[in-house]
Amino acid sequence: MRRRRVNRVATISMHTSPLDQPGTGDAGGMNVYIVEAAKRLAELGVEVEIFTRQTARDLPPVAEIVPGVSVRHVTAGPYEELDKGDLPGQLCAFLSGVLRTEAMYDPGRYDVIHSHYWLSGQVGWLAKERWGVPLVHTMHTMAKVKNLLLAEDDRPEPTARVLGEEQVVDVADRLVANTPTEARELVELYGAAPGRVEVVNPGVNLTVFRPGPRGAARRRLGVPRDALMLLFVGRVQPLKAPDVLLRAAARMLADDPSLRSRLVVACVGGPSGNGLARPSHLADLAAHLGIQDVVRIVPPAPQHELADWYRAADVTVVPSHSESFGLVALESQACGTPVAAASVGGLRTAVRDGVSGVLVEGHDPHDWAHVLGRFVRLPAWRDELSAGAVAQAAAFGWSATAARLAEVYAGAMAHLHRAPVAVPCS
């Protein structure tokens, strides 16, 4: 069967804008994924229009990121960031804005819809029916997986989300999984048809995230040249488990008090999700553990500055309870900094255990202290992992991701799955 060329994609990201700074609120790896993949698709001649909810009155209706990639701000609810739990009530308003945009043009403006996260998938479901085009969906995170791996003080995902995800899985023409593990989860936990699941690895910007002199990076960030630096990057919430790093650092200092003069524990990110209820949690925990003198809490940083944080670190710590992939691990490795990561989800793909970093089973701070202590005690081993980290990251580029996505889009267009008629918004 001859495949049509993909000319224009309607990307739906309802709950978080690709223009937002990753690392706080709902902005994270998904934002990076959408922007970087769209840029590389544009380089392939595929135009991408990204629909997101307008969160400020002064945002323009359309903002161009680069030629061929634009962001369309859709009015749906108040001009402010809403909790994800409140967003289902705005689905119909958001859908209406998406449909109105398409109606302004001649029929056939979009060749395919790519929705990200389950809320966007619900919108994509109805748009697919109206436009007669295929729906490609990427989960990024899944409620059933998160509920199986909850942190001790985290809340389970609600039943409404589980049902919503099941509906999207049933109607999507293609489901894009970040890793083979995620593909299996879609099939085993959600009953996805294996023939409609495609594995497309995310990538890393190898131009921004690349090795550089550690001393220069530390000088720019105000980190002592002889520091032993442990780095956490990401949203501060129970799912990401930054508390595991702080508790492990406290154990390391208890075992070897002489480390205190050199140890730096840097946490780059802002509160998100359940972490918003306790915005000072990390600072309070550091004080409770008696390590506030070695902990630096830093706001989310733009990519060029974030690259310096990676280069400055001895090891990047990713102790998440669940990760669909783990872009932080890739970014760190691309900068030549090995990773200590939880052996969960996509981190098993992003990190080569014993080659580019270490995968840690469980979340016991004592176990993490032991692993991190090896990075401190064995600099030659750390340098060996650093070389492996650069090689590991080099295999993941956004251009390859975009090329695979274009193939998935074409395949979905060639085998359009006619879904059950969606229930209209009430």
Residues making up the annotated binding site for UDP-N-acetyl-alpha-D-glucosamine are 21-22, 29, 235, 240, 323, 331
Helix or strand run (H / E) with residue 215: helix 214-221
User: Residues marked as binding for Mg(2+)?
Assistant: 310-311, 313, 337
User: Residues marked as binding?
Assistant: 15, 21-22, 26-31, 84, 117, 141, 161, 235, 240, 310-311, 313, 323, 331, 337
**260 is written with which tokens?**
């205190």
- Give one DSSP letter per residue of 184-203, joined into a string: HHHHHHH---GGGEEE----
Q: For residues 90 and 135, what is the distance between their CA atoms, to the nearest angstrom?
A: 21
117 close to 140: Cβ distance less than 8 angstroms: yes
Q: For residues 66 and 322, what is the distance between their CA atoms, to the nearest angstrom?
A: 32
User: How many angstroms separate the Cα of 110 from the Cα of each of 10, 35, 61, 79, 176?
Assistant: 6, 18, 19, 27, 19
403 close to 44: Cβ distance less than 8 angstroms: yes
422 close to 126: Cβ distance less than 8 angstroms: yes
Q: For residues 304 and 420, what is the distance between their CA atoms, to the nearest angstrom?
A: 46
| Helix and strand element counts for the chain (H, E) | 15, 14
**Torsion over CA: 271, 275, 276, 282 (sign):** negative
- Give one DSSP letter per residue of 333-397, joined into a string: HHTT--EEEES-TTHHHHS-BTTTEEEE-S--HHHHHHHHHHHHH-HHHHHHHHHHHHHHHHT-B
285 close to 267: Cβ distance less than 8 angstroms: no
User: Residues marked as binding for 1D-myo-inositol 3-phosphate?
Assistant: 15, 26-31, 84, 117, 141, 161
Q: For residues 234 and 297, what is the distance between their CA atoms, to the nearest angstrom?
A: 11
Q: For residues 272 and 277, what is the distance between their CA atoms, to the nearest angstrom?
A: 9
SS3 content of the chain, % helix, strand, coil (to 5): 45, 15, 40
